[in-house]
Amino acid sequence: MKNQVFNPYLPSWEYIPDGEPHVFGGRVYVYGSHDRFNAPIFCVNDYVCWSAPVEDLSDWRYEGVIYRKMQDPKNKLGLRLLFAPDVCRGPDGRYYLYYAFDFMGVMGVAVCDTPAGQYEFLGHVHYKDGTIWGRRKGDQFPFDPGVLADDDGRIWLYSGFYTPTPAIVTGGRKLRNDGGVVLELEPDMVTIKTEPKVIFPKEGPGSFPNHEFFEASSIRRDGDRYIFVYSSRHNHELCYAVSHRPDGDFTFGGTLVDQGDLFLDGNEDERRAVNYLGNTHGGLLQLGQDWYIFYHRQTNRHSYSRQACAEKLTRNPDGSFRQAEVTSCGLNGGPLESRGWYEARIACNLWSKEGVGRYDGPNPQKRLADHPYFTQTGKDREDHGDQYIANMRDGAVAGFKYFTFDGPRTLTLELGGAGRGEMRVSASPDFETGCVIPVETSGHKDRFIGALDVGSGVKALYFRFQGEGTVDFHAFLLE
């Protein structure tokens, strides 16, 4: 890698949730939905794409807008929102983009000659008689496409949603949402060849107890096995299931990543999560012998300004994956250097004196008014915006994992807000060792210096504010 890379791995002003990574022509392309900073709802912006060379996951390039909401003839006014997409390279060598409009119950397809060019509308996924999927009484609700162009030329489309809503009534026809479904497409990439069938029931026989299917279908082939990634009913974890066929007989594999590190070491108590919880969605990336899981985090005290993250996975000899820990250095290939400036926005752990909360559900901003959160200055898509941790009150903690230390360091904090007290810094969340730096802020950025000695080796860094008022954590310098 030319440079270090952090989580979130895209610029601080970019909000790409639901990221699906794919390798085309020596580059990793990430396709996701597109949130707007401080938006009132999910996925307000048009689709964009980012890519990086497979040999350097620190070198992300903005590819621009690849598809606009109003390109679909059913959305000429742009009132419907583009939810999570997926892309595959078809047997004809062209690239096909699959998407669903919010809760409209329709799945669209666009096509392009290049991975990140200007996609053009192709059609809506439909039955052989021309009926659009989602317009037939009793159809399974089209949502969150995952698509696989298999090695034998067959095209498999996955979809599914958990929660019944009044919106799942289209044209007077109530749609079903029994779980995750699969169907095969004709070579034209838009006509249904085999009837949709449920292979991941959300409840009852065949479901995965305590990790039942919720949404976020994603599929990869690994040799003679198919790996299906999905978000469970907990909504803050990505799980996987494995089969030797693409259209059934999947067995549960485990959790790949959880936003709050739940299910690690047997912890299932949301009150003991290490980060704030909300929905997540992503996919697997294989580069040589290395595997990564892509996911997203919430910012700004709600679920409508989400950012792309990724973690490297460890694979067991039997081919199963261990759950990844959320970190600040996901794609870096190892711990970060314990020298230089680091923005506080790369914290992977964040909690208040009362613990964490969930960003989904009604009025999260009111319920979490006393909690710290990630936010930014400036408006949406300003590349000079400053993202930081706001509203650190007495007992709030921000954690960063991991750094390689070889001895003591001078630590400089860059803080704003209006607070007075001390910042305790330690390599462990119990704060038994580390340093204490007195701080007092008065509405603008100030710097505070202390001596830090956490020993040598790979260490985390935790920062806890103790005092009065609120502190905004912008950055820190290790030297």
Catalytic residue numbers?
18, 215
Give how far the C-alpha of residue 154 lies from the chain's centroid of Cα atoms, to the nearest Å.
28
108, 121 contact by CB (below 8 A): yes
Residue 436, classed as helix, strand or coil, is strand
| CA gap 441, 459 in Å, rounded | 28
Exposure string of 132-168, with b = 16+ CB inside 10 Å and e = fewer, is bbbbbeebbbbbbbbbbbeeeebbbbbbbbbeeeeeb
Half-sphere exposure of 107 (CA within 13 A, CB side): 30
71, 108 contact by CB (below 8 A): no
The 8-class DSSP code of residue 8 comes to S
Backbone angles phi, psi at 367, to 5 degrees: -70, -25
The end-to-end CA distance of the chain, in Å, is 22
| CA gap 215, 202 in Å, rounded | 10
Structure-token pair, residue 160: 């599914």
| CA gap 141, 53 in Å, rounded | 36
126, 190 contact by CB (below 8 A): yes
Beta-strand (E) ranges in 235-378?
A: 237-243, 251-258, 284-287, 290-299, 302-313, 336-337, 340-343, 349-351, 373-376
| CA gap 34, 226 in Å, rounded | 28
Residue 249 CB partners (closer than 8 Å, separation 6+): 243
Q: How many Cβ atoms from other residues are within 10 Å of residue 290's Cβ?
A: 12
Exposure string of 225-236, with b = 16+ CB inside 10 Å and e = fewer, is ebbbbbbbbbbb
